[in-house]
Chains A and B, each alone.
Chain A
């Protein structure tokens, strides 16, 4: 297929074919990271700007490594050191980055919809590296990539997503992606962390962790984001671990080869026990490795999408 999108803003807007195309492109890029010289010239001469409005090490570094392995030049902008602190609007910042003749903006932003807005106002590519509670498409893509690598397929799998669904962009992107690819998704959390109407996204809802794990081929464990507890409504840490923590005892009652994923950073002893995080079912570090391949694929494709767009304009 021919990739035609200049941006990757979320998985909701992608078709099943587009998602599968990104995943298969990522497969071919994964090998690059195993070479002695971990570099291909695919984006040589292109400039990727990492524009991060929220503290993030993991995602930012992953995008940086991905861009560098494609031979792109990478510029990192963190809000603490930029004019954003001086009150510049997002649209002005985007226009300035475009004026530098950058090719791709990779943005993390604490406001839902920020990537959609930025993409509407710049001609260069925008890759959403997480916007508020809305979407985090590359995380979901790397989760699906890992699942497919481990279990051979996504269609028909039972996947449980456990944790703060209400405030999670990772959950939303995973739900869109997994359901489009034919997986059955169950979300599991205490009542106050399940957002209104989530069932209409095509998932099952349970408040019982045993039920969520019972038939699951994989469980995606979300980090408890206590910093988002504006109304002091979240369960306390130990209580959460007791009721929802992924422990060895709970896994023993689940399918034997259940895959345990976590987008990181993990809170040991809160949403997941150390034993499980470091155990045989865990693929947490493989997710990190796969994140590079998936982000290489995304950067490569959006650059191509934009070039294609230019050609058609000519």
Chain B
């Protein structure tokens, strides 16, 4: 089976391509990217007026399996991914059991082999059962296939434990992804601390709880020489700390999530628990700083932090509801709406953040349309608007803060290893 994609605007920052071209796919690989390919193909997609880019790489996804298959499974989550143009993702290890051993990695690999609809990569936890006390066997989890390790959902509070983990990670060449939160400062907070928390009568989470831990983790990464990636950056002070760190340590990387540049605490008006997220939606000033950080290249990656929860866990009082929201299906559209339409990033700039950079950080051969590479491609109608409807969501959970909002950008086709795996029905 071969495939010809004609006349799309091809955006491939790895090869500095940003122009109308054809792409020929053979044997699951990209064969040629040039103008006016004259070849016979089994399948031809006319991509005139559409954006053709590498399948996106989402390095922050909670698939919930094993353990919480009522929220999401590898099957439902990776199906949702394809609808959102995500062809590769990194599964977070805070499952039940946590992915903290070779045995549990093998368990998850078995599920992925059976059910995954996209390329699903594995991360291990930093500490056993994510308790922050005893580090996992880092050499072993790396050999078993973990691309990174993270206690995401929590920070490793004990500085000695985290330092030891960074040293071992450095030794074995494993990436460390840090969830930066000082629980002693965030406490029982549920929204950003400020006028809005006061007005709503909800406990606030101060920004210090994030950026002070960002500062600590940067310092420890610099001390140990480990490769550190900071997850879900939400506030201006964290962006500043990372900007300073990068001057000295260019290998330190970070990500933000679409909700941190599209929503602020001011969107919390009706106690919508789908807006209850950790770190919390911050102030308008922070939203501007996140956009600026993306533009200036301080923020390397946009990842969804897809965090599915059931209706039972969300349709309750704000204080009692779980933190987190889904994002696999909306991330690209939110990015187009907020970053492309508002001229914060151009297309190559966006594709870097959602495909090329995360692939490079994870060390996988993805995120490009280079001849010979795996033909993971997404074709997007960037002009078309959609209103996100609950009944259209593929993910098992429906906890999106963008429900009933108008977004711009619709995935028309998702292609994985040369096969068309998703076609927009409309």
Binding site for B on A (CB under 8 A): 12, 89-91, 109, 111-114, 116-117, 120, 131-135, 169, 172, 195-198, 200-201, 230
Contacts and interface: CB of A to CB of B under 8 A. Distances in A.
Contact of B318 (A111, A172, A197): A111
B198 A112 contact: no
B44 interface: no
CB-based closest 6 A-B pairs: A197-B195, A133-B201, A134-B201, A113-B271, A112-B201, A111-B317
B198 A197 contact: yes
B334 interface: no
A33 to B, nearest CB: 32
B316 interface: yes
Interface string B302-317: 0000000000100111
Contacts of A91: 315-316
- Residue among B194, B197, B198, B318 with max Cβ neighbours from chain A (10 Å): B198
A113 B317 contact: yes
Give the size category of B's interface with A.
20 to 34
B316 A90 contact: yes
13 contacts: A90-B316, A109-B317, A112-B200, A112-B319, A117-B318, A172-B199, A195-B198, A196-B198, A197-B194, A197-B195, A197-B196, A197-B199, A201-B195
B319 A111 contact: yes
A188 to B, nearest CB: 16
B204 interface: yes
A169 B199 CA distance: 10
Interface string B215-245: 0000000000000000000000000000000
B9 interface: no
A112 B195 contact: no
Contacts of B316: 89-91
B138 interface: no
B391 interface: no
A117 B201 contact: no
B150 to A, nearest CB: 30
Nearest to B270: A116
A120 B197 contact: no
B332 interface: no
Given A117-B271, A120-B270, A196 B318 contact: no
B52 interface: no
B210 to A, nearest CB: 16
B320 interface: yes
B195 A172 contact: no
A142 B318 CA distance: 28
A111 B271 CA distance: 11
